[in-house]
Amino acid sequence: MQSYVLTILISIPIAGSLAVFILGRGSVARDESLRWTALISSIVTFAVSLLLPLGFQSRPSLQFETNAPWINAFELGIRYHVGIDGLSLWLVVLTTFLVPLALLSSWNSITFRLREFLISILVLETGMIGVFIAMDMFLFYLFWEVMLVPMYFLIGVWGGERRIYAAVKFVIYTVLGSLLMLAGIIALYYLHGEATRVYTFDIPTIMANAGRISPEAQNWLFWGFALAFLIKVPLFPFHTWLPDAHVEAPTAGSVILAGVLLKMGTYGLMRFNLPIFPDASREFAPLLAALAVVGIIYGALVAMVQPDLKKLVAYSSVSHLGFVVLGIFSFTEQGMQGALYQMLNHGVSTGALFIIVGMIYDRRHTRMIAEFGGLASVMPVYSALFLIVTLSSIALPLMNGFVGEFLVLVGTFTSTSLPYARTFAVLAALGMILSAVYMLWMYQRVVFGEVRNPENRTLKDLNGRERLVLAPIVALVLFMGVYPSLFLSRSGAAIKAISKSMSEPAVARSQVKND
Amino acid sequence: MRPEDLAIDYHAILPELITTGAALAIMLIDVMARKAARRVAAVAAIAGLLLSGGAVISLWGKDEISFAGMIVTDELRLFFALIFLVVTLLTVLISINWIESEALPAGEYFALLMFATTGMLFMAAANDLVMVFLGLEITSIATYVLCGYRRNDLRSNESAVKYFILGSFSTAFLLYGIALVYGASYNPGAAPSATTNLELLRERIAAGQVFSKEMLFAGAAMMMVGFGFKVASAPFHIWSPDVYQGAPTSITAFLSTGSKAAAFAAFARVFIFTFTATSVTSMTKGIMPALQSAWTDALVVMAVLTMTIGNLAAIVQENVKRMLAYSSIAHAGYTLMGMVAGDWRAVAFYLLSYVVINIGAFAVVEVVARQGDQRTELKDYSGIGFRSLGLASALSLFLLSLAGLPLTAGFVGKFLVFKSAWAAGFHVLVIIAVINSAVSWYYYLRVIVVMFFREPSAGYTAPAVARPLAAALTLTVLATFYLGVIPDRVLKTLENARDRIVARFP
């Protein structure tokens, strides 16, 4: 049965960008109408994406599938195959949720080349959704790469002072990783084809026959794919592009970068590396978990000393994404559920943090912590919302962050397949404490105390639009904190399937297949 | 030899006859109607190209040899013939207004282009080393002249002289190689006793009936050097940046795509179709497998050198034409991967996608350069992005496609050559190529950085885009997407192409 919901979903932003393109020709339409066109198309995308969790059934198989041949020549067997399972469901919704907010958050701050800005964001949205729904490796790679172009322009055209350096670094890092993945995809295509006589790029098919790939080949291919994903995550020591890109990107770019793009790396690990190369995953899990823990602590320590708000949030991302990677390589159901939940949390909270930083940047054109202080008295609403998001980021109970990090820690601590799991869990918990330190210290310096800088006295509190941007986020932060089962129940089946395949040795699996 | 043994078949050389006829007609028109000549010459050229394309299509599906073994008609020839015709058509479109603005003689220009095309068509159709040489010379002589077409410009003169000297040099290598191979094929018992015919050569080498193995290997090596020069692959690439930079931009576009593709067509014909062991011969140890593994090894080294040198040198270029020249070297390296894998289909598709995007890129360079080829430095592109949004977006698309962005032609081409190289077992080569591609992103993005991210340079006004050039740009943009998004039809055509090796030697 074919369902066209996903195809419609990725077409709406493209249609929106075409509309913006046509409306913006010459100077017929005023900027306002372009903004509304883009916003409405992204809201419609969000509305359509809500059909997904509503119609979703808790089973591990793909849903809302479309599967049609695309390139058949030379036995390529490339298909337009899209679908979602519990792993990708919420990531799609996260994407469509954040894009309208990103557009709203830069409503007035972008005036230069508005039309091209809006087109970039909308094309980016299509690319991001595409990555999460592609079920053919060729198609996946396509979305993965095409997405780079609008992001490159977002940083390069509308970014800060060192935007060119940041944009080029971002692309080169990503491209190096993704081209190695391309070699991996080609290799996997042949290995799978030689083993099964079926030449295909179809992800579920390859996953079903994963046991027939030899351990040596797995080890190579694992890294071919993992490098692309780890750079994107970014896992320490591949993280150096991230602070540059975050700091230089405009607010909307940072929100999307932190909120969605980083998740593609961890999504890729769960979609490809674990199910297709289970033996290699087990073999390299201690290394990756160790890097994740180093990232958690290193990110937190570096964040602590940042004078720039955006840089601080950027390094906190390195730390938070370390939790996600740790959770994934714990191979336990809790750990992976926690990792997935933490991906959503980070998207919401860090996206919100970037919006919040963007709001004072719009007012003061600086992001230096030392420039602020005492904002609580001049911007009370802002400070209150800022507090909630800060607490969510440091994983206070009843907030979304708590659920994710707790699950990751429990999952890691109880993991039987990950060596030194307890040590990793303890060290990661230390990272949680550090995150409370740097976030609260930052909040204190920005919001509490006297207003020392006279320029801050006259700052206006949030206007209606800005409240409208933060309100859904704050609501979601609390909702996700108290009612996680809404999310976890839908992702459960898919996660359980991955976790189960990880706990069985490969030999047993392939024997079952051959019987 | 009796006349009927010649197997004269005018249909088999109809495409070449038409382009030759068109070239002669253009020269006549030029003499008789001086004033209106420019437009008429261009129209005659386009008409000739379209008719020739029709002739190519009318030959489709044939598999025969005519003119006493000189001319072969098969899908390799026809597919490449279409590539050449597309190249020339686009070159004509981007030249029309340039010729007018430079006030250069149009008749000779278009006639030379048509002659060059004729030579290229013969190179793909050659079934005999002498024919390969003839085609190569027809093309080369025409392009030597075209490189120096801007007579009053020193750079153009330098380009022509360099191209002529190094081109002749490389042709000498090729010719020497041909002579050695001819000598090596000497077999007193057979008729003819020695041969340059590719089919006969193949049979003799496969059967081990060669006069001297060393002579054959030396000859093949010399020919490889000759072809290496013509496709501008390292270490025989030194001429190309100077020649490409100095030649008129439309001719650079032609050289970097058409001549290169033609050289690859002959290269593939000689090495993949002739010097390759089939399943039958490869079972017995003999000269052919040894020859094949020798040239394959040499080509692997050449491919790695070519793409690496091309990409690394392109990074530091400050002139866009020169940067594209090095990029073109790098692309020859990727194409060589298809040669290494012995997969002429991947080579053909790669070249098809490459010629389309590369001519598109040069078309934009030509418009931006203006009269006298003045603005070709990278700094001349500062901030033109939003001033000439259409041109800059088109150039960005072509550059990203050259870098291998999915959904564009360049990606599918790259994907295919990487895939065939991997399938043939050259895994390390693929990894090197992949890293090279990542490097290449840097210099392609650099142009985009300059165009969109930097402040506009003072005094830039958006250049007017003439209608023929706009048509060429539209065609190339559409083709870039067509080959990138729905390549299935073209790929199917290639897939269904019969392989002469298999067909002739089952």
Beta-carbon separation of B434 and A153 below 8 A: no
Mean pLDDT, residues B468-477 taken together: 94
**Minimal Cβ distance to B406: which of A70, A74, A142:** A142
B493: closest chain A residue by CA? A73
| Structure-block tokens of residue A142 | 């396509």
Beta-carbon separation of A179 and B422 below 8 A: no
Place of tokens 């975050």: A246
Mean pLDDT, residues B300-304 taken together: 94
What pLDDT is stored for residue B99 in this prediction? 87
Q: Which of B399, B434, B439 to mutate to test the interface with A (most CBs of A within 10 A)?
A: B434
Interchain CB contact of A163 with B (< 8 Å): yes
Residue B459 has pLDDT above 60, yes or no: yes
A178: closest chain B residue by CA? B438
Interchain CB contact of B430 with A (< 8 Å): yes
Beta-carbon separation of B407 and A142 below 8 A: yes
A158: closest chain B residue by CA? B453
Task: Give per-residue pLDDT as tens, A262-320.
Answer: 999 999 999 999 888 888 888 899 999 999 999 999 999 999 999 988 899 999 999 99
Pairing of strands A63-71, A78-84: antiparallel
Which residues, numbered 168 to 197 in chain B, qualify as contacts with chain A under a Cβ-Cβ cut-off of 8 Å?
A: none
Q: What angle do CA A387, A392, A393 make, to 5 degrees?
A: 100
From chain B, pick out residues whose CB is under 8 angstroms from the CB of A163: 453
Interchain CB contact of A186 with B (< 8 Å): yes
Residue B220 has pLDDT above 80, yes or no: yes
B483: closest chain A residue by CA? A71
| Structure-block tokens of residue A183 | 């070699």
DSSP B156-177: HHHHHHHHHHHHHHHHHHHHHH
Beta-carbon separation of A167 and B415 below 8 A: no
Q: Which of B386, B445, B499 to mutate to test the interface with A (most CBs of A within 10 A)?
A: B445
Work out the pLDDT band at B501, boundaries 50, 70, 90.
low
Q: What angle do CA A447, A378, A107 make, to 5 degrees?
A: 90
DSSP-derived secondary structure letter, B7? -
Which of helix, strand or coil describes residue A366?
Answer: coil
Beta-carbon separation of B419 and A164 below 8 A: no
Looking at B61-209, which runs of residues are DSSP E strands? 64-66, 71-73
Q: How far away is chain A from the Cα of B442, in angstroms, using its nearest Cα?
A: 7
Interchain CB contact of B418 with A (< 8 Å): yes
Whether A225 contacts A264, CB under 8 Å? no
**What's CA A229's distance to the chain center, in Å?**
11
B424: closest chain A residue by CA? A190
Alpha helix ranges (H) inside A305-332: 309-328
From chain A, pick out residues whose CB is under 8 angstroms from the CB of B406: 141-142, 145-146
Work out the pLDDT band at A127, boundaries 50, 70, 90.
very high
Residue B502 has pLDDT above 60, yes or no: no
pTM of the model: 0.92
Which of helix, strand or coil describes residue A119?
Answer: helix
DSSP B276-288: ---HHHHHS-SHH
Choice between B453 and B180, residue whose per-residue pLDDT is larger: B180
Share of chain A above pLDDT 90, in %: 37
**Minimal Cβ distance to B453: which of A76, A163, A186:** A163
Ranges A115-119, A165-169, A210-214: which has the least confidence: A210-214
From chain B, pick out residues whose CB is under 8 angstroms from the CB of A73: 487-488, 491-492, 494-495
Mean pLDDT of all residues in chain A?
Answer: 88
